[in-house]
Amino acid sequence: MNTMAEARLQTQQRRSQDGQENSLWSSGFGMKLEAVTPFLGKYRPFVGRCCQTCTPKSWESLFHRSIMDLGFCNVILVKEENTRFRGWLVRRLCYFLWSLEQHIPPCQDASQKIVESTGVQNVISGRAPGGAGEGQVPSHMKKEVQRILGHIQAPPRPFLLRLFSWALLRFLNCLFLNVQLYRGQMKMVHKAAQAGSPLVFLSTHKSVLDGILLPFVLLSQGVGVLRVAWDPRTCSPILRALLKKLGGLFLPPEASLSPDSPEGVLARAVVHAVLAPLGLWTGVLAVLRSLRRWGCSRRVCVRVHLAQPFSLQEYIINARSCWGSRQTLEQLLQPIVLGQCTVVPDTEKEQEWTPVTGPLLALREEDQLLVRRLSWHVLNASVASSAVMSTAIMATLLLFKHQELLGEFSWLTEETLLRGFDVGFSGQLRCLVQHTLSLLRPHVALLRIQQGDLLVVPRPGPGLTSLARLSAELLPTFLSEAVGACAVRGLLAGRVPPEGPWELQGIELLSQKELYCQILMLLHLLPQDLLLLQPCQSSYCYCQEVLDRLIQCGLLVAEETPGSQPACDTGRQRLSAKLLWTLSGDLSDSDSDGSEEAECRRFRLSQQLRCPDFFLFLCRLLSPVLKAFAQAAVFLHQGQLPDTESGYAEQLFQFLQATAQEEGLFECADPNLAISAIWTFRDLGVLQQMPGPTGPMLHLSPAFASRDSQERLEQFIRQFICG
């Protein structure tokens, strides 16, 4: 927080020296910048740090302040200096010579090690279900293990790898202007590799080229040959044989069977033995189908982000201590939605949307929970380490109908950087805006008006839907403030009409207890994959973070009664003697005074000129999700149930499209929002999933069969929506 405050102060001082200032509605920063740089002085954000709670040793040992000063490198820029040789001929053959000098570690025969692994030995000795028993000869089992292992992988061929690296280097130089890699992030990976433990890489697949681009980047940086998992169903036998020699992995078909099936027990044991020391990416053959489209378009720049590595062993030890009591969304919110109670239970939400696959079902329930929560950690780190692109910023401004694109584009870029997120662009401000509008040309209409000004109008229909998808990439940057703003809107919904003036809403006093309760209800309603809360983080801690963000950005002002100590004056506070030490067995409310003092705090909305528009901006960031949920509540009495999940999702999506044509809510006409609404309603107890003759079927819950309960659900959701 201090870093952010100092950065804001330096930015204001720098702008005040530049001359004329133009007031922006969104911030008091001053004049618009003539150039947008990917950092603010020395306070360029370093993104992708691992969890300090679950992996404190990795958080400290694999990071150093000096790596923040390292810049970017272009991994496809190979010159004479990148080889050991010099001369005119070397400059012509530098790509080929560079590929010959790449270090490819020798591949060791792992068949004997896999045979001796615990899981395979259990199958051979008959201790596992479907095992061979005593009648099988171990030599036969060893041959079977070798057969399965040969289907999964083959020893990489160094010559083919060097030839492929040379061809891929030429291909990437024809396809991209540059491929940027942050040296600081790569230095952390090298430091983790020096520990001697195997490295496991997980990718979020933001591009169809990840399957070939990322292994090339890591090979070029000296990490080694990366094993890439490919789908065997999309590969011909010839292509499968070639990819295995280049480091590809193909899971045997019997390994994906149900754990209860006696078939494939040995194959699953071999797969588990193979997948401890390998880094996996799921490759996609869409690369081959997209080459024609990429080749015809203009060359672009690419940036590869790597989050901070962490020790999996350290995570397993520390993560189990963070588990507490949890309740389902139905237990937490359904009584409140139906008006049966008004108090949110003091517990965390249990919502697991991780796909339950065969290998995951083979684990114990405790290990399944560990894997699921590890996935949330990884997803949180991947989103935090991903740069915000200029199209996301421009789409947000166009979707919310802002006027001064130049000034507000500069403001939104600085706000993104100050919140610890990186941006993936730099350059002159006017050129950036023009280039971004050219990228969004299929979704917007550019109109010339008088005095040479340019009017940018989003195209209705699919154009608005595409802009909403792009603007969703900016939501993690302002997520805490957006949740807080929508919670405040829900708290004021029953007191002040939404169309009332801002001054009237600013009169209302909001207690800290009411704010906490409203934020908690919204946190429970929103899906987990949108919030990306770390599993080790308490919801009440996040509520305090949301409240702090609202105060910091100037939307909330603490109400101080005459003669009381200012809320910001912490220097004169003294600890009470009974708060210093308590007996370990004393479970009395010895700290009730502090909690009562916190609950008595009051806040009101700030009356600064920029606050109404900024408040509306934050509320609109969450409006596509909330409006889609509200429309899903309206659709409950129109949908045809029972139906399969995919069938009902198609029904809801068609309803969202029809509503978009009637009311202009095109940002809600998204099939992903329809699926998210169905999953949330299923967890809330609105929909029930029951077995059917053709598979699981969705039924309407008896608790929401009446129109009154459906209207209560719609009103509960719409209280958080700001018009």
Mean pLDDT of 169-187: 86
DSSP 369: H
| pLDDT for 119 | 66
Contact 181, 221 (CB under 8 A): yes
pLDDT band of residue 169 (cuts 50, 70, 90) is confident
pLDDT band of residue 499 (cuts 50, 70, 90) is low
Over 50-99, what HEC string results?
A: CCCCCCHHHHHHCCCHHHHHCCEEECCCCCHHHCCCCCHHHHHCHHHHHH
| pLDDT for 694 | 82
pLDDT band of residue 7 (cuts 50, 70, 90) is very low
Mean pLDDT of 198-219: 76
pLDDT band of residue 271 (cuts 50, 70, 90) is low
Give the H/E segment covering residue 691. Answer: strand 687-692
User: How far, in Å, CA of 453 to CA of 456, rounded?
Assistant: 10
| pLDDT for 257 | 46
Q: H helices of 327-475, where?
A: 329-337, 358-361, 365-385, 390-399, 405-418, 429-439, 462-471
Distances (CA, A) of 606 to 507, 509, 557, 611, 618: 10, 11, 6, 7, 15
Mean pLDDT of 627-633: 95
| pLDDT for 518 | 93
Distances (CA, A) of 680 to 274, 625, 655, 719: 37, 11, 18, 17
pLDDT band of residue 678 (cuts 50, 70, 90) is very high
Give the H/E segment covering residue 312. Answer: helix 312-319
pLDDT band of residue 13 (cuts 50, 70, 90) is very low
Q: What is the pLDDT of residues 64-100, one digit of tens each?
A: 777 777 778 888 888 887 787 788 888 888 888 888 8
**Mean pLDDT, the chain, whole residue set:** 76
φ/ψ of 561, rounded to 5, equals -75, 150
Give the H/E segment covering residue 515. Answer: helix 512-525
| pLDDT for 168 | 84
Whether the pLDDT of residue 405 is over 50: the answer is yes
User: How far, in Å, CA of 709 to CA of 704, rounded?
Assistant: 5
| Lowest mean pLDDT, pick from 188-192, 582-586, 711-715 | 582-586
Which residue shows structure tokens 């001053």?
30
Whether the pLDDT of residue 422 is over 50: the answer is yes
% the chain with pLDDT above 90: 20
| Beta-carbon contacts of residue 139 (< 8 Å; ≥ 6 apart) | none
Whether the pLDDT of residue 481 is over 70: the answer is yes
| pLDDT for 114 | 65
Mean pLDDT of 404-433: 86
Mean pLDDT of 146-151: 69
Distances (CA, A) of 20 to 58, 431, 723: 47, 22, 35
Mean pLDDT of 483-499: 84
| Greater pLDDT, 28 or 382 | 382
pLDDT band of residue 269 (cuts 50, 70, 90) is low
DSSP 135: S
Q: Per the structure block, which two tokens stand in for 598?
A: 């916190």
Q: What is the pLDDT of residues 635-664, one digit of tens each?
A: 999 999 999 999 999 999 999 999 998 888
Whether the pLDDT of residue 536 is over 80: the answer is yes
What is the b/e burial string over 179-188, where b = at least 16 CB atoms within 10 angstroms of the residue's CB? Answer: bbbbebbbbb
Mean pLDDT of 707-720: 95
Q: What is the pLDDT of residues 290-301, one digit of tens each?
A: 333 444 445 678
pTM metric for this prediction: 0.79
- Taking the CA of residue 61 as centre, how many other CA atoms within 13 Å lie in the half-sphere pointing to its CB? 14
492: three-class secondary structure by DSSP:
helix
Whether the pLDDT of residue 248 is over 60: the answer is yes
Q: What is the pLDDT of residues 113-131, one digit of tens each?
A: 666 666 666 666 655 455 5
Distances (CA, A) of 272 to 275, 360, 367: 5, 11, 14
How many residues appear in the chain?
A: 723
Distances (CA, A) of 564 to 16, 567, 595, 597, 606: 36, 9, 17, 12, 20
Mean pLDDT of 396-414: 84
| pLDDT for 113 | 64
Q: What is the pLDDT of residues 302-349, one digit of tens each?
A: 888 888 888 888 888 887 776 667 788 999 999 999 999 888 887 888
| pLDDT for 192 | 87
Distances (CA, A) of 247 to 154, 157, 199, 244, 663: 7, 8, 15, 5, 53
| pLDDT for 324 | 66
CA angle 250, 188, 272 (to 5 degrees): 25
% the chain with pLDDT above 70: 67
| Lowest mean pLDDT, pick from 78-82, 204-208, 611-615, 625-629 | 204-208
| pLDDT for 596 | 57
User: How far, in Å, CA of 496 to CA of 491, rounded?
Assistant: 9
Contact 286, 210 (CB under 8 A): no
Over 613-650, what HEC string results?
A: HHHHHHHHHHHHHHHHHHHHHHHHHCCCCCECHHHHHH
